[in-house]
Structure 1
Amino acid sequence: MNNDKPTIGITMGDPASIGPEIAIKALLNERLYDVCNPIIVGDAGVFEDIVSRLNLPAKINAVKSVSDAKFVYGQPDVYDLANVDMSQLKFGEISAMAGEASFAAVKKVIELALAGDVDATVTGPINKKSVNEAGHHFAGHTEIYAHFTDTKKYAMLLVEDNLKVIHVSTHVSLRQACDLVKKERIIQVIELLHNGLISLGEKNLKIGVAGLNPHAGDSGLFGTEDDGEILPAVEEARKLGYDVDGPIPADTLFSKAATGYYGGIVAMYHDQGHIPFKLTGFKWNAEKQQMDSVKGVNITMGLPIIRTSVDHGTAFEIAGKGVASPDAMVLAIESAIQLSKHRMQKA
């Protein structure tokens, strides 16, 4: 591989979704070819169809190995898994075939990264129901990566402008999320966030930790987790040398973080972190009845390989219509490049 340009493996996502469209549109950004060698992993036929359907200025180069890729702008390389029957594929529909194809792309890109054939991985959106109908029972990308890399300590980090949000728990019920707010896990996530900020080149390493309950429990009036688990974790993290505040009521923490006061913040559960994050990065145009932009990158921290992703779903309702924004995919690729360079420098 060219050490000056990291090789980035990009998964197709669900073939019935906007995944293939945003992958191709992202690679129509010529600047990306100046800073990385991108290769898509998926079914070449899906990409040939989307290029033809949307009349995009690209010619697919199907390959069977990374070494065969040309990395030429306008001729996106696709590591062809040849596993989608185009006569059966229907945009916007859940199916075991689409789930199997999207899962296979993720598994393959993980294998390529573990083998050193790509320097980082970027994932397109998958449909969890389709993946499960294909017989692969995972809650999402994060869990797939953890399983196939044998990783026990990991966390989801969301990045968009000033907001960098990591989660104590993600794809579990709200009831389970409350039970998972434990001192040891919070300290672990603070460490993962600190390391992630450094990897992203962030200079501000000050971390804010959200409370779980309203008013961060208000001295036990609204729950005991804040005083019993979160505060001891923050105090221990300070002893370990981390610059950290908390627990801070979530309704004030995120507005303060958006100004750049904190380099990163720790959310206690999925929606506590995702809602303010998406309010920042997702811009809906009411007049056009479509998104003007969808920004935000999802990074899995703690893995032995680099994984970034768009932080939006499959958008089945607009799949194949040519209106999907590639903004988040471009940002995910750029983050993968930054993380790759940081890892190369450390090596």
Structure 2
Amino acid sequence: MIESASLDARPLAVTMGDPAGIGPEIVARMFLRRPAQRRWIVVGDPMVMRHVLAALDPAARVRRVATPAEARFDDGVLNVLASSECVALPPVGRISAESGRAAYAAISTAIQMARDGAIRGIVTAPIHKEALAAAGLHYPGHTEILAEQAGGARVAMMLANEDIRVVLVTIHCSLRDAIRRADFPAQMTAIRLAQAGARALGIARPRVAVAGLNPHAGEGGLFGEEEARIIAPAIAQARSEGIDASGPWPGDTVFMQAREKRFDVVVAQYHDQGLIPVKYMGLAQGVNITLGLPFIRTSPDHGTAFDIAGRGIADPSSLETAFDCACRLTIPVPRPGAAA
């Protein structure tokens, strides 16, 4: 039986993100802005975190810990578990292999701790895909790293804010590849995880709207056959499993209907179809939740912001929203096909 968030005393881990971006700064700012909510540890490079924290508050201190069990949360010191050891501070606002390796090491260390049960979940600060590639790590993003290192889990990305929740059938790939990958198994994974993810957010019987792939959801086959051949059968299968799924709905109106509370979560077919509506409504309140993992993972809905890194003006609001969401969640959600 999964413990509820309120009963689970294990800390959350917050990864520092790419050290050349705003990740370390927003992590440090969240720590300083929330003195009453510090039951969490940073996974990252102690030198980087010490430097950033001192720039914001010279009196603030970092405690290096070897395990989450060594952390203390009652003395105003930031607990940092070292996942890397930079020889010098990475160049701020620039892509580098060193930054990519450090960001990846923080993610991998946090995943292992979550799999071992040492932490309750992970909140990840932003990483840069080009820095990962410069380090020889060819991952499109966090989601793919998490899926691989969590035992090859079939996962889905949920983006959520106060108005709408969106789960993606396909994530980081070209539009041509997205059409190919949006097959029946991918539809079922997304629909099942949309229901499970909405339940984890406290919705007892989620209404799941599935967007079409083509304009006007194919217009009865005039604009494409994927709706009739793939998406509608997946919706029928989901309904036979007791999921309140409907559609396929035209992608140009389904998000408006979700905002008007006709639906609780929308299954979008590809990255921009689902993320543009969420991000248009503002980044500060958007949260990325990875569904299908055996542990909690959330992240802010923005990137590394190299253009403002190191200037001391980064806003931690989206990270704080992601952290608060992780605190509320009662996942890990069931894997696709598991009993609800």
- What's the counterpart of residue 67 of structure 1? 69
- What's the counterpart of residue 239 of structure 2? 238
1:129-172, CA deviations, whole angstroms, 9 ceiling, x for partnerless residues? Answer: 11121122211111111111112411111111121100000111
Q: Distance between the aligned counterparts of 1:279 and 1:26, measured in 2?
A: 24
Aligned residues: 328
Measured at CA, do residues 45 and 24 of structure 1 come closer, stay the same or move farther in structure 2, by a change above 3 Å? same
- What's the counterpart of residue 164 of structure 1? 165
CA contact (8 A) 1:6 1:341 kept: no
SS for the counterpart of 1:5 is coil
Q: Distance between the aligned counterparts of 2:103 and 2:64, measured in 1?
A: 17
Q: Distance between the aligned counterparts of 1:341 and 1:173, measured in 2?
A: 30
CA contact (8 A) 1:15 1:46 kept: yes
- What's the counterpart of residue 327 of structure 2? 337
What's the TM-score once normalised by structure 2's chain length?
0.91
1:227-248, CA deviations, whole angstroms, 9 ceiling, x for partnerless residues? Answer: 1111111122111111111111
CA contact (8 A) 1:10 1:39 kept: yes
- What's the counterpart of residue 78 of structure 2? 76
Q: Distance between the aligned counterparts of 1:235 and 1:117, measured in 2?
A: 40
Measured at CA, do residues 17 and 153 of structure 1 come closer, stay the same or move farther in structure 2, by a change above 3 Å? same
1:175-230, CA deviations, whole angstroms, 9 ceiling, x for partnerless residues? Answer: 01011222232122111111111111124510111111111110111111111111
Pairs within 5 Å for 1:21-170: 21-30=25-34, 33=37, 37-55=39-57, 58-72=60-74, 74-87=76-89, 89-170=90-171
Measured at CA, do residues 77 and 321 of structure 1 come closer, stay the same or move farther in structure 2, by a change above 3 Å? same
CA contact (8 A) 2:201 2:330 kept: no
Using the TM superposition, give the Cα deviation of residue 115 of structure 1 relative to its aligned residue in structure 2, in angstroms.
1.0
- The sequence identity of aligned pairs, in percent, is 40
Alignment-mate amino acid for residue 271 of structure 1:
D
Q: Distance between the aligned counterparts of 1:260 and 1:31, measured in 2?
A: 36
- What's the counterpart of residue 280 of structure 2? 279
- What's the counterpart of residue 291 of structure 1? none
1:22-71, CA deviations, whole angstroms, 9 ceiling, x for partnerless residues? Answer: 111122243762xx720000011111111222337632222222121112
Measured at CA, do residues 248 and 31 of structure 1 come closer, stay the same or move farther in structure 2, by a change above 3 Å? farther
- What's the counterpart of residue 336 of structure 2? none
Q: Distance between the aligned counterparts of 2:95 and 2:188, measured in 1?
A: 39
Q: Distance between the aligned counterparts of 2:272 and 2:153, measured in 1?
A: 23
**2:268 is equivalent to residue 267 of structure 1:** yes
1:266-315, CA deviations, whole angstroms, 9 ceiling, x for partnerless residues? Answer: 00000001101101123xxxxxxxxxxx2211111111122111121100
Alignment-mate amino acid for residue 304 of structure 1:
P
Aligned CA RMSD, in angstroms, stands at: 1.9
Q: Distance between the aligned counterparts of 2:192 and 2:122, measured in 1?
A: 22
SS for the counterpart of 1:47 is helix
Alignment-mate amino acid for residue 159 of structure 1:
A
CA contact (8 A) 2:114 2:121 kept: yes
Alignment-mate amino acid for residue 39 of structure 1:
I
**2:294 is equivalent to residue 322 of structure 1:** no
CA contact (8 A) 2:125 2:299 kept: yes
Q: Distance between the aligned counterparts of 1:4 and 1:50, measured in 2?
A: 30
- What's the counterpart of residue 297 of structure 2? 307
SS for the counterpart of 1:273 is helix
CA contact (8 A) 1:120 1:340 kept: no
What's the TM-score once normalised by structure 1's chain length?
0.89
Unaligned runs of 5+ in 2: 1-5, 334-340
- What's the counterpart of residue 17 of structure 1? 21
Alignment-mate amino acid for residue 307 of structure 2:
E
CA contact (8 A) 2:293 2:332 kept: no
Alignment-mate amino acid for residue 308 of structure 1:
T
- What's the counterpart of residue 210 of structure 1? 211
CA contact (8 A) 1:208 1:266 kept: yes
CA contact (8 A) 2:47 2:85 kept: no
**Stretch deviating more after TM superposition (45-54 or 10-19):** 45-54
Using the TM superposition, give the Cα deviation of residue 96 of structure 1 relative to its aligned residue in structure 2, in angstroms.
0.5
Unaligned runs of 5+ in 1: 283-293
